[in-house]
């Protein structure tokens, strides 16, 4: 039985906070779930790297939630795409569960992220992405946005239907993000990615920790001002 604490907003995107080994003050990682509704619309002009019937972003739940995750995966269509924003354990701890529950699932991530996933965690198919690739889930369209800063392989995912930006750990529900220097995180890259986000004109920011943000420009400009002070 899935938790009843979830959020379906923006339309087509469901957030399921799941307990994870994340850093305080947070206790959960938001699992993003997208399920196809209706037949896909042909978009021949777009460079679509993968079509799927369901999408999961950052399955980083801890072992106490693995049964819940397995139940979720078995309830989803077999043509499942798993998207990773980066390699931290609070974003990948559920990968082995998905791998076993759905051998047909495919993993998408930056090559730096893929190289840091512990051996034996994922044995299904995978695709290395570099930025700009499109992913189609039924009538929902996403674009992979290369977003280094938090790590050197960090990605975000733009929901083109609603201009909602799944930010990974570049943004958090409150407070500010922490850069992982050992994972290639750099302040220069973080600045550039923040400006890139502003140029995308997102309507909603969806962090992997904490609540969504309905005032993207205010949050992103606040991050720039805070970073410039240090």
* C-beta atoms surrounding 128 within 10 Å: 14
Give residue 4's pLDDT band: very low, low, confident or very high (50, 70, 90): very low
- Give residue for tokens 């943000």: 213
Contact 159, 191 (CB under 8 A): no
Q: Is 119 helix (H, G, I), strand (E, B) or coil?
A: coil
Q: Is 208 helix (H, G, I), strand (E, B) or coil?
A: coil
Pairing of strands 134-137, 125-128: unpaired
Cα–Cα dist 213/208, whole Å: 11
Q: How far, in Å, are 71, 83, 172, 174, 182 from residue 2 at the CA level? A: 8, 21, 24, 26, 35
Please report, for the chain, the start and end positions of each structural domain, with discontinuous segments joined by +. 7-228
Check residue 9 and give its pLDDT.
Answer: 76
Length of the chain counted residue by residue: 230
pLDDT greater than 80 at residue 76: yes
Here the tokens at position 195 are 């400006």
The pTM (predicted TM-score) of the whole model is: 0.93
- What is the residue-wise DSSP string for 142-171? EEEEE-TTSSTT-EEEEETTTTEEEEETSS
Cα–Cα dist 143/215, whole Å: 21
Give residue 229's pLDDT band: very low, low, confident or very high (50, 70, 90): low
Side-chain-facing half-sphere of 217: CA atoms under 13 Å: 4
Task: Report which DSSP code applies to 61.
Answer: B
Check residue 46 and give its pLDDT.
Answer: 66
Query: 8-19, pLDDT tens digit by residue?
Result: 778 889 999 999
Check residue 43 and give its pLDDT.
Answer: 62
Give residue 40's pLDDT band: very low, low, confident or very high (50, 70, 90): low
As to burial, measured by CB atoms within 10 angstroms (0-12 exposed, 13-18 middle, 19+ buried), residue 159 is: buried
**Fold (topology level) of 7-228:** Metallo-beta-lactamase; Chain A (3.60.15)
Cα–Cα dist 112/198, whole Å: 25
Q: How far, in Å, are 191, 215, 216, 217 from residue 221 at the CA level? A: 10, 10, 8, 6
């Amino acid at each position: 039985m899935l938790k009843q604490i979830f959020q379906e907003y923006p339309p087509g995107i469901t957030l399921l906070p799941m307990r994870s080994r994340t850093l305080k003050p947070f206790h959960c990682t938001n699992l993003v779930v997208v399920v196809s509704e209706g037949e896909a619309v042909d978009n021949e002009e777009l460079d679509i790297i993968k079509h799927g019937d369901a999408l999961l972003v950052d399955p980083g739940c801890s072992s106490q939630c693995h049964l819940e995750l397995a139940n979720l995966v078995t309830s989803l269509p077999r043509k499942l795409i798993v998207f990773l924003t980066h390699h931290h354990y609070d974003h990948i701890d559920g990968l082995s569960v998905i791998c076993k529950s759905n051998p047909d699932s495919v993993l998408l991530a930056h090559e730096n992220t893929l190289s840091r996933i512990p051996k034996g965690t994922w044995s299904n198919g995978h695709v290395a992405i570099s930025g700009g690739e499109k992913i189609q889930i039924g009538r929902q369209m996403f674009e992979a946005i290369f977003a280094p800063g938090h790590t050197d392989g960090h990605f975000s995912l733009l929901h083109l239907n609603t201009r909602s930006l799944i930010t990974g750990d570049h943004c958090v529900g409150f407070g500010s993000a922490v850069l992982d220097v050992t994972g290639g995180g750099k302040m220069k890259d973080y600045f550039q990615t923040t400006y890139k986000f502003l140029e995308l004109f997102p309507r909603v920011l969806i962090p992997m920790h904490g609540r969504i943000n309905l005032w993207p420009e205010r949050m992103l400009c606040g991050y720039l001002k805070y970073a410039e002070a240090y």
